[in-house]
Structure 1
Amino acid sequence: MRRILVRSALGALVVFLAIQLVPYGWEKPNPPVVAEPTWPSARAEELARSACYDCHSNETDWPAYSYVAPMSWLVRRDVESGRDELNFSEWDGDGDDAAETVAEGSMPPAQYSLLHPGARLSDAERQELEAALLAIDD
């Protein structure tokens, strides 16, 4: 039994080390900021930066776990899809959909808030961010 456990552990270690060689997620691009929204207050911008900017801007703060597969794959995918949906660094004036998503409580996602306590929004902060997103909607 012990032999099976040792072999299984070694096999898992080999697989873990092998997946580090998969190149997806290695690059951590932060393209230049092209256009940013004009926030109605510094507090609104602070809320957006803490709860949204890591996935929805070109100013991503890449955490240490984003350099280790398979987490690097998940983080890279989340950032790419987040930037595709809404990018505060390439602002096009569409805050309405973002406000609705924040109001529904689906952003920031639970798995992100779990690892980033500063991104957790109280009900009052959620309402403040929603109002700010509506205010910057052109």
Structure 2
Amino acid sequence: MKKILIILLVAFIIIQFFPIDKTNPPVNPGIDFLKIKKTQPEIAKLIRTSCYDCHSNETKYPWYSSIAPSSWFLKNHIDEGRKNLNFSTFAMYEPERQAHKLQECIEMIEKEEMPLESYIVGHQGAKLTPEQRKQLIQYFKQVKAETERSMVF
């Protein structure tokens, strides 16, 4: 048993030499969702607090992002989040894709799938109240409708 614990400790120490890259891609405010959609400060704060760490190029890495293997899980989660929806590059999406992403936001918030429970554990401020969920859903529906009206068919 002692041998196994020593091996596990040595393995844990060794994996610390393989850190994640915490470099955020550059941010261009001219293509950021909150800027281009002229989001009201109250709603913008909700989106920043509950969404931006995983769905933008403005990730604020927590202390545990320096400890493997949790850092690897975190980095993968952020990469997947940005791949699925990146608010920092929202203006680069075609209008049809913007509308689709907004619909996905609505559905994920309605089903309480976002923000993820695993994220909320470490970020209690990201937990949305029923009223905040309602506000975000209403806001995303409004922006989606505006986006659809602006599409050329």
Q: TM-score range, shorter-chain basis?
A: 0.7 to 0.9
Q: TM-score, normalised by structure 2?
A: 0.80
Query: 1:130: how far off?
Result: 1.4
- Give the conservation status (yes or no) of the 8 Å contact 1:32–1:58: yes
**1:15 maps to which of 8, 11, 15:** 11
SS of residue paired to 1:54: coil
Q: Could you tell me which residue of structure 2 aligns to residue 59 of structure 1?
A: 58
CA–CA distance in 2 between the matches of 1:62 and 1:40? 25
**1:28 maps to which of 16, 19, 22:** 22
- The equivalences for 1:96-107 within 5 A come to 96-107=103-114
- The equivalences for 1:31-50 within 5 A come to 31-34=25-28, 35-37=31-33, 38-50=37-49
Which structure has the highest helix share of the two?
A: 2
Q: Could you tell me which residue of structure 2 aligns to residue 85 of structure 1?
A: 84
How big is each residue's C-alpha offset from its partner over 1:54-86, in whole Å with a ceiling of 9 and x where there is no partner?
000000001110111101101100000000111
- Give the conservation status (yes or no) of the 8 Å contact 1:40–1:135: no
RMSD over equivalenced CA pairs, Å:
1.5
Change (3 A) 1:86 1:95: same
Which 5+ residue runs of structure 1 have no aligned equivalent?
none
Mean CA deviation greater in 67-76 or 6-15: 6-15
CA–CA distance in 2 between the matches of 1:96 and 1:31? 26
- Give the conservation status (yes or no) of the 8 Å contact 1:108–1:120: yes
Q: What is the aligned residue count? A: 132
CA–CA distance in 2 between the matches of 1:76 and 1:63? 11
SS of residue paired to 1:53: coil
Counting aligned pairs with the same residue, the percent is 33
Query: 1:26: how far off?
Result: 1.9
